[in-house]
């Protein structure tokens, strides 16, 4: 059975190094699971242990996805903030314990295995993505997939995150994927911001302002630095700083949008990508940058 839920993956940082005494670690993880489920996951439809963490599934009301998106991000932030004291005051936990967790959030299609009225398990790429994002949330914090619905968050929640493009093993090893992360807690490693399969990559770039791009009509040719190995696998997208509420430019976040209406051409001046400016204009309107915002149209592909 296919669904479109939110997947949250939470992992205790440093648990493996800390868990020298099996009795202590077993008691602690049991207490943590109970507290997490009772305090944070009451709205969840499914959860299962993943060793030193939990996979949690939250349903989405299709008529109001905003409520679920906001509530789940708030839950994730609260977990990270409250975790150091989660078992404080429990008379059975009279020993030092880990104090940090990482959380990954994604939403999208997932397969639910059911028997009668009972959910046995969930599977699918959305769950795998949440796990990969959780692994990036180090030394602690929250990492959200770029397609999660960041624009649905309140301004106060948005302020907690910065954006980055990362490469994820098994999910986006070569093309990359946009994510949002809690900059006050999380450090995205340099290794996650480079393709991880050793492929030689080619690029193309057009830098201008929104005003100048909107004054360009018809088609526009972007020079490429090499020949694509497969012209059908070219990735082209618009990118600029995220707009603030007062119309300014955000210092640490950006917004982006994929373009699909383009053609590869080999010309006397070298390889080019011809883009349709009508699609660019529509994308700039949706991204809502100011007329003087610096804008990039970036092209990425596997080079021949």
Domain stop point among 142, 164, 193: 193
Q: What is the pTM of this model?
A: 0.74
CATH number of the domain at 105, please.
3.30.70.1230
Total Cβ atoms within 10 A of residue 143: 28
pLDDT in tens, 247-263: 899 877 888 888 999 99
pLDDT in tens, 3-48: 899 999 999 998 877 766 678 888 999 999 999 999 999 999 999 9
Per-residue confidence (pLDDT) for residue 197, from 0 to 100: 64
- Indicate the pLDDT class of residue 276, thresholds 50, 70 and 90: very high
In this predicted structure, the answer to whether residue 279 has a pLDDT above a threshold of 90 is yes
Is the domain of 176 the same as that of 269? no
Whole-angstrom distance, CA of residue 32 vs CA of residue 128: 23
> With 90 as the cut, is the pLDDT of residue 144 above it?
yes
Question: For residue 171, what pLDDT is reported?
Answer: 74
pLDDT recorded at residue 149: 93
Min mean pLDDT across 120-124, 136-140, 170-174 is at: 170-174
State the total domains in the chain. Answer: 2
Given this model, what pLDDT does residue 193 score? 83
Q: Say yes or no: 123 and 30 in one domain.
A: yes
Q: Would you call the peptide bond into 139 cis, given omega within 30 degrees of 0 as the criterion?
A: yes
What pLDDT, on a 0 to 100 scale, did the predictor assign at position 130? 96
Among the residue ranges 12-16, 205-209, 225-229, the one predicted with the least confidence is 12-16
- pLDDT for position 172: 64
Structural domain boundaries enclosing 259: 201-302
14-51: burial string, b at 16+ Cβ within 10 Å, e else: ebeebbeeeebbebbbebbeebbeeebbeebebbeeee
Residues 134 and 212 in one domain: no
């Amino acid at each position: 059975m296919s669904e479109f839920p939110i997947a949250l993956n939470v992992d205790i940082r440093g648990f493996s190094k800390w868990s020298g005494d099996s009795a202590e670690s077993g008691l602690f993880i049991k207490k943590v699971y109970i507290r997490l489920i009772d305090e944070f996951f009451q709205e969840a439809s499914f959860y299962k242990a993943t060793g030193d963490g939990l996979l949690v599934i939250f349903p989405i009301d299709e008529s109001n996805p905003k409520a679920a998106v906001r509530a789940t991000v708030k839950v994730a932030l609260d977990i990270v903030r409250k975790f150091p004291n989660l078992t404080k005051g429990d008379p059975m936990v009279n020993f030092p314990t880990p104090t940090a967790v990482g959380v990954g959030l994604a939403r999208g299609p997932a397969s639910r295995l059911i028997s009668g009225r009972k959910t046995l398990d969930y599977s699918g790429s959305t769950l795998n993505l949440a796990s990969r994002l959780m692994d990036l949330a180090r030394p602690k914090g929250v990492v959200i997939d770029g397609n999660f619905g960041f624009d649905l968050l309140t301004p106060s929640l948005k302020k907690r995150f910065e954006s980055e493009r990362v490469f994820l093993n098994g999910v986006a090893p070569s093309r990359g994927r946009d994510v949002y992360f809690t900059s006050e807690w999380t450090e995205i490693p340099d290794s996650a911001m480079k393709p991880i399969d050793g492929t030689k990559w080619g690029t193309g770039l057009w830098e201008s302002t929104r005003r100048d791009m909107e004054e360009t009509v018809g088609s526009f040719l972007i020079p490429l630095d090499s020949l694509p190995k497969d012209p059908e696998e070219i990735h082209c997208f618009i990118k600029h700083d995220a707009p603030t509420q007062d119309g300014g430019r955000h210092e640490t976040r950006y917004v982006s949008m994929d373009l699909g209406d383009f053609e590869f051409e080999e010309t006397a001046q070298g390889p080019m990508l011809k883009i349709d400016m009508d699609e660019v204009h529509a994308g700039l309107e949706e991204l809502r940058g100011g007329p003087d915002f610096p804008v990039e149209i970036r092209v990425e592909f596997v080079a021949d």
